[in-house]
A = this chain, B = another copy of it.
Amino acid sequence: RRGEMAKSTQLIDNEVFRAYATHAAIVLLKMMLMSLITAYFRITRKAFVNPEDTASFGKGESAKKFLRTDPDVERVRRGHLNDLENIVPFVGIGLLYALSGPELSTALLHFRIFTGARILHTFAYLIPLPQPGRGLSWAVGYSVTFSMAYKVLKTAWLL
């Protein structure tokens, strides 16, 4: 029992892996939060896309007028898609990076900058902040993922 437990948790006992798990969970939760913000704006702006979602507003024309796009809803959806395009590569490449034996301090530097940049990116997108706020926060996160990918390819290369 004890031995089995130890085996199953050995990765999570590694400090670099723990740091990865913490940051990966945080940015994935942040990405999931976009669904709730989208739902909030859809309901408060009364802007839906599926006819069955407007059934509670009545039948026929009275409900149909809520099948529309809203600028705030679309903005959150673009932020959500941008998260998918950037957080998903971070989670995939970050896992390989955490298993490639980096120094804990170097790994933490990568993870912290990425998490911070993506949280800033979300605020920059939703407020919105004037450019280049959003552009820069995107570029910082992108560069961190690129740096980790370089370490992974240098360590693991077997094509």
Chain A residues packing against B (C-beta within 8 Å): 4-5, 7-12, 14-19, 21-26, 28-29, 31-32, 34-35, 49-50, 52-53, 55-56, 75, 78, 80, 84-86, 88-89, 91-93, 95-96, 99-101, 112, 128-131, 134, 142, 145-146, 149, 152-153, 155-159
Offer 5 A-B interface pairs, CB within 8 angstroms, sorted by A: A12-B101, A21-B100, A32-B89, A52-B131, A84-B85
The answer to whether B8 and A17 touch across the interface, beta carbons within 8 angstroms, is yes
Q: Are A12 and B56 in contact (CB under 8 A)?
A: no
Assess whether A32 is in contact with B142, with CB atoms less than 8 Å apart: yes
Q: When the two chains form their complex, are residues B93 and A84 in contact, meaning their CB atoms are under 8 A apart?
A: no
Are B8 and A52 neighbours in the complex by a CB distance under 8 Å?
no
Residue A24 contacts which of B14, B28, B96, B112 (CB distance < 8 angstroms)? B96
A150 to chain B, nearest CB (A): 9
Is there an interface contact between B22 and A153, defined as CB atoms closer than 8 Å? yes
The residues of B that contact A93 with a CB separation of less than 8 Å are: 24-25, 28
Cα A112 to Cα B17 with chains together (Å): 26
B residues in contact with A145, CB < 8 Å: 32
Q: Say how far A142's CB is from chain B's closest CB, in angstroms.
A: 7
Q: A22-B159, A52-B134, A131-B52 are in contact. Are A8 and B12 (CB under 8 A)?
A: no
B28 and A149 form a contact (CB under 8 A): yes
Report the minimum CB–CB distance from A98 to chain B (whole Å): 8
